[in-house]
Amino acid sequence: MSVRVIVRTFSELCITAGTVIVLFVVYVLFWTGVRADREMGDQIDDLHDQWAQGTAAAPSPGASTTATPAPYRSGRPFAVMYIPRLGFTWNKPVLEGTATGTLKKGLGHYAGSARLGQTGNFSVAGHRRTYGDPFKDFPQIRRGDAVVLTDGTTWFTYRVDKGPYKTVPSDVEVIDAVPRKSGYTRPGRYLTLTTCDPEWGHSHRLIVWAHLDSTQPVEAGEPKALRR
């Protein structure tokens, strides 16, 4: 085989490899985001349809009922989260579980952590990058910021107390009922948000802790934190 043929073959292989790499980058940066945004929009639309039919996921805190709330269904949405600090158009569905497939559709509630608005630590994970980049701007969250959720019957407004706090993936205490490093010293109604760090890696985690500041029925309109 001549040198010319070898060089040409090598060049063609490099071009092919380069094309594959470019297509992969486009897929990761663009197409997964397009699909995730569409999927999250569909999840929110489905929730709104359920709520319009009177099938909200959970009763309001303190509601006078002796019925046991229906458990959250694995991989299914049950709430919508809003974080004004990340933009007044920022809203994401919250689904039950943190499996890979679930986190491609929105934010994931850690199974076993508290229910929304209830005593304990309602803990939620989300991707920093890819699949819609839901927590891309996570480091911008500051103490005092509002994190608002609704389950179709109630608005829950949490206020950030600490974070973003950097730790390692093995630090599972961050979602304890009373997280030791959060500054909380007794049981309460808390919220923990977690995502990966650095932006395109997963060697560490960023954590935000918040407490339940107020609730109001959806019939009363949007909470103050969401009003422009």
- Residues designated catalytic: 127, 196, 205
Q: Tokens at residue 114, please?
A: 């508290």
Based on the number of CB atoms within 10 Å of its own CB, is 212 exposed (0-12), middle (13-18) or buried (19 or more)? buried
Q: Which residues of 71-94 are buried (b: 16+ CB within 10 A; e: fewer)?
A: ebeeebbbbbbbbbbbeeeebbbb
- Helix (H) or strand (E) segment spanning residue 19: helix 3-26
d(CA 55, CA 114): 20
Contact by Cβ (8 Å): 108, 125:
yes
